[in-house]
Amino acid sequence: MEADFVIVGAGSAGCAMAYRLSQAGASVIVIEHGGTDAGPFIQMPAALSYPMNMARYDWGYRSEPEPHLNNRQLACPRGKVIGGSSSINGMVYVRGHAMDFDHWAEQGANGWGYADVLPYFKRMESWHDSGHGGDPDWRGRDGPLHVTRGPRHNPLFDAFVQAGNQAGYETTDDYNGQKQEGFGPMDQTVWRGRRWSAANAYLRPALKRDTCTLIRGLACRVVIKEGRAIGVEVQRKGSCEVIRARREVVLAASSINSPKLLMLSGIGPARHLAEHRIDVVADRPGVGGNLQDHLELYIQMAASQPVTLYKHWNLVSKAMIGAQWLLAKSGLGASNQFESAAFIRSRPGVPYPDIQYHFLPIAVRYDGKVAAEGHGFQAHVGPMRAKSRGRVSLRDADPAASPVIRFNYMSEASDWADFRTCIRLTREIFDQPAFAPYVNHEIQPGTDVQTDDELDAFIAEHAESAYHPCGTCRMGRVDDPDAVVDPEGRVIGVDGLRVADSSIFPRITNGNLNAPSIMVGEKVADHLLGRSLPAANDEPWIHPNWQIAQR
């Protein structure tokens, strides 16, 4: 078993690379531990809470007890299935802000500024405005990844945008276009009523080519000979074998599993590797470090009229929605129900948004546990650029063992201040006239939770991961001791080995991470092929009074 390129992980970036490399005539083998993504739980958008809670599709990782969050162990789902986390995520599509990528470049990821990555975002997209406005000049039209918008029939979606406007914030027709800041419609990776995962967009077309092969197995380590990666050791069908790469090995196994694989292969902090009796190939202290994520809270309101999705929260209605979706790929089952969004700034002097909202017309948790109150709605809110950093490390040298994941959430005082601001700004939005016909009272946190100490206690008990881990194989300059890969994704200190997934992000981007992860796969594929798209010169919108005004 050998190919020009061996990719570990059939997730967001891995599928995109398999498509582009095989399209260029190179032979590719993709190694994926998970199984098929067939079946309604994954393909039906409204069923999104199921696959991320099913052991069949999810690695089932949990953090270590988080000391600043009452020692809770937070869920850290990662897709163990064709399509990776793009097959179990919320299907929310956010590129990130232009200034996120300019910051990457400033941190040593040369060639990853916004002007460099925008052409890749355009190349990967087929954007469908479906009559809801938008910014067509900034979007792609003929890429493999279909991006659409929900129908926004529920009056609460519009009430959320109107309330933001009444509170003095910007509106935006397209947060993935020129102007991210403001309230407006949300994009989703849904096409013709189905989840449009990286598997549907990229891997299935790639596998129709003779040059692309998918192998099921558990990648154990990268085989390195005389300083060069020559293949991947895989456990499959009860035995161990090496799948060889004629040109390069690429790890696209997630921000949790890519650093784990590097460490199992002898690339990482030398002292940590020695603890597990792993021979050191390259002492890279940054492997597994720089772990970042978005935390969020659900601010929930009880509704005064039965306009929410709660009326469908029963077996009969769910069965009817499921039947309509199975027969026609239409109805409530054909949307993730995240159809309005916002990106705002927390205070004057912040140049671009640092708070994100997902609005949902039901009061429910990601794991499908509904609020006790009946009819209600909620905003998911959280800071975008927390200062806290964590680490992924090895539990032991057994490739089947789950790694140690310490996010170290809320370990910086500024993160608490940011979260308190999020809660107070959200309450102000729900207090606007647009919500007056719909609001009964606040379910969570509850109006008795007001002081800093009360809010902090609520945050410690209720903050949840938005499932956006990244940064654990940070991209940077070759002479940066904490960088793991160079600006072309090459692992520093080893030849023939790259990493391409959200682990290479120097810093977390605004919003959900599926879109930038796919972009990384697209761009690193070009680096592997020795080519690149010409830079763009589009100027993104920045609030003209950002230095003195919060809105």
How far, in Å, CA of 41 to CA of 503, rounded?
Answer: 27
* Architecture label for domain 1-66+74-141+189-291+469-536: 3-Layer(bba) Sandwich (3.50)
| Tokens, residue 231 | 């293949």
Nearest-CA neighbor of 463 among 471, 473, 455, 451?
Answer: 455
How far, in Å, CA of 442 to CA of 430, rounded?
Answer: 9
Q: Same topology for domains 1-66+74-141+189-291+469-536 and 151-185+295-383+411-462, yes or no?
A: no
Question: Measuring CA to CA, how many Å separate 302 from each of 106, 372, 431, 437?
Answer: 45, 10, 13, 12
| Tokens, residue 257 | 């599993």
What confidence tens digit (pLDDT) does each residue in 491-545 have? 999 999 999 999 999 999 999 999 999 999 999 999 999 999 999 999 999 999 9
* DSSP codes of every residue in 44-102: SGGGTTTGGG-TTTB--EEPPPBTTTTTB--EE--B-BTTGGGGTS--B-----HHHHH
Set 33, 103, 375, 468: catalytic member: 468
- C-alpha angle with apex 290: 289 to 291, nearest 5 degrees? 90
| Region 151-185+295-383+411-462: CATH code | 3.30.410.40
Which residue is listed with tokens 């947060």?
175
Q: Which residues participate in the annotated binding site? A: 81, 89-92
Task: Tell me what pLDDT residue 53 has.
Answer: 86
Task: Tell me what pLDDT residue 49 has.
Answer: 87
How far, in Å, CA of 279 to CA of 222, rounded?
Answer: 13
Contact 420, 455 (CB under 8 A): yes
Residue 111 β-bridge partners? none
Contact 290, 508 (CB under 8 A): no
The H-or-E segment that residue 419 falls in is helix 413-430
How far, in Å, CA of 223 to CA of 232, rounded?
Answer: 5
How far, in Å, CA of 58 to CA of 350, rounded?
Answer: 37
The residues spanned by each domain of the chain are 1-66+74-141+189-291+469-536, 151-185+295-383+411-462
Q: Is 468 a catalytic residue?
A: yes
Q: Which residues participate in the annotated binding site for FAD? A: 81, 89-92
Task: Tell me what pLDDT residue 313 has.
Answer: 86
Pairing of strands 267-268, 282-283: parallel
**Amino acid at site 151:** P
Rg (CA), the chain: 22
Per-residue tens of pLDDT for the chain, all 551 residues: 999 999 999 999 999 999 999 999 999 999 999 999 998 899 999 999 899 889 999 999 999 999 999 999 999 999 999 999 999 999 999 999 999 999 999 999 999 999 999 999 999 999 997 666 788 899 999 999 999 999 999 999 999 999 999 999 999 999 999 999 999 999 999 999 999 999 999 999 999 999 999 999 999 999 999 999 999 999 999 999 999 999 999 999 999 999 999 999 999 999 999 999 999 999 999 999 999 999 999 999 999 999 999 999 889 999 999 999 999 999 999 999 999 999 999 999 999 999 999 999 999 876 666 666 789 999 999 999 999 999 999 999 999 999 999 999 999 999 999 999 999 999 999 999 999 999 999 999 999 999 999 999 999 999 999 999 999 999 999 999 999 999 999 999 999 999 999 999 999 999 999 999 999 999 999 999 999 999 999 999 999 999 999 99
User: Nearest 10 degrees: CA dihedral of 522, 243, 473, 112?
Assistant: -20
| Tokens, residue 87 | 């097959």
